[in-house]
């Protein structure tokens, strides 16, 4: 092990230098600034240095886990003396609102596709499994949107079960952040037997108390994107401001009324939402799942990843 590698009870801890040394001898897929712009989430930040230092080794690790998964499937088929249905390798990516989960998911998707063109990669988000706003209103929990009870977990589990079982075409409900609501199933995303599926969402590592099977049971590898809550609040408010700057031309945009109204009042509202909804959800339900992840990407200022923790066992 390198001199910059620390070990905790459950995780190996790497600084940037030690982690970068683990890229191995796989092809170092070049990514351009234009590529980064195409995959990064709205108002997120990521650098080419992060790609080379953090994501090249992560891509290699994921592929090694994927190959091991394929070998286990072959072993199962040999033991049963029959073919087993194709089943995708599923990666779960969790973390707070505004921490950069979507960028991590899309960038990992891009790197895997570029490096291993023989594989089919798809990415979905669990946002589509939120109850529609009308249903949240009917239940009196619109102000708890994002909390565990605001998701149709039965539907999410059924969809993941169908995907893992190798069904040829599974419809995954989609969510539109412009209208701040779930889209009709006519606009669903179709998952068609990918080799690797990336599932991103704040709730993917949570353990609902009333379930006998959990979302994470379907995962073969999991990632938690971590940062200090004060930094995440800063990123959340920065994103909110950027949304206001783009929403004032579209009356159908959820943020339109805030964009054309008093900006100070809009930011006061956003701070309340962060404090009463997103921070509370992070502390009570999201952050406690961090220790369940196989890998933790820890971010510091400007979304720079300064530490990677890899589960030992």
Binding residues: 95-102
Q: Which two tokens stand for residue 294?
A: 């196989």
Residue 86, classed as helix, strand or coil, is coil
| Distance between CA atoms of residues 281 and 312, nearest Å | 28
Place of tokens 């589509």: 128
Q: Which helix (DSSP H) or strand (DSSP E) does residue 307 occupy?
A: strand 305-311
Contacts 24+ apart (CB under 8 A), 32-41: 35/110, 36/107, 39/103, 39/106, 39/107, 39/109, 39/110, 40/103, 40/106, 40/107, 41/100, 41/101, 41/102, 41/103, 41/106
26 token code pair? 């796989």
Q: Which value, to the nearest 10 degrees, does the dihedral of the CA atoms of residues 69, 73, 79, 84 take?
A: 170
Which residue is associated with the tokens 């991590």? 104
Q: Which residues are annotated as a binding site for ATP?
A: 95-102
């Amino acid at each position: 092990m390198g001199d910059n590698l620390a070990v905790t009870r459950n995780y190996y801890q790497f600084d940037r230098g030690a982690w970068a040394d683990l890229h191995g001898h796989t092809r170092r897929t070049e990514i351009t600034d234009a590529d980064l712009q195409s995959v990064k989430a709205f108002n997120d930040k990521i650098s080419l240095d992060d790609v080379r230092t953090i994501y090249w080794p992560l891509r290699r690790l994921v592929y090694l886990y994927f190959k091991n998964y394929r070998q286990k499937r072959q072993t199962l088929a040999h033991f049963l003396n029959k073919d087993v249905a194709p089943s995708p390798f599923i990666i779960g990516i969790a973390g707070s609102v505004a921490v950069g989960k979507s960028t991590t998911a899309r960038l990992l998707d891009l790197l895997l596709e570029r490096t291993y063109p023989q594989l089919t990669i798809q990415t979905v988000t669990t946002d589509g499994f939120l109850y529609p706003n009308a249903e949240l209103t009917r239940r009196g929990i619109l102000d708890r949107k994002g909390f565990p009870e605001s998701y149709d977990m039965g539907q999410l589990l059924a969809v993941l079960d169908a995907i893992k079982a190798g069904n040829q075409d599974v419809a995954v409900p989609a969510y539109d952040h412009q209208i701040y609501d779930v889209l009709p199933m006519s606009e669903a995303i179709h998952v068609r037997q990918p080799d690797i599926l990336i599932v991103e969402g704040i709730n993917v590592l949570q353990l609902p108390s009333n379930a006998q099977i959990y979302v994470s049971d379907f995962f073969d590898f999991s990632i938690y994107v971590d940062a200090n809550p004060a930094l995440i609040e800063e990123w959340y408010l920065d994103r909110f401001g950027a949304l206001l700057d783009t929403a004032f031309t579209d009356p159908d945009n959820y943020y339109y009324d805030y964009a054309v109204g008093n900006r100070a009042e809009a930011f006061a509202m956003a701070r309340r939402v962060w404090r009463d909804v997103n921070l509370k959800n992070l502390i009570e339900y999201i952050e406690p799942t961090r220790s369940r992840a196989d890998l933790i990407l820890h971010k510091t200022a400007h979304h720079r990843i300064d530490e990677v923790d890899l589960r030992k066992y």
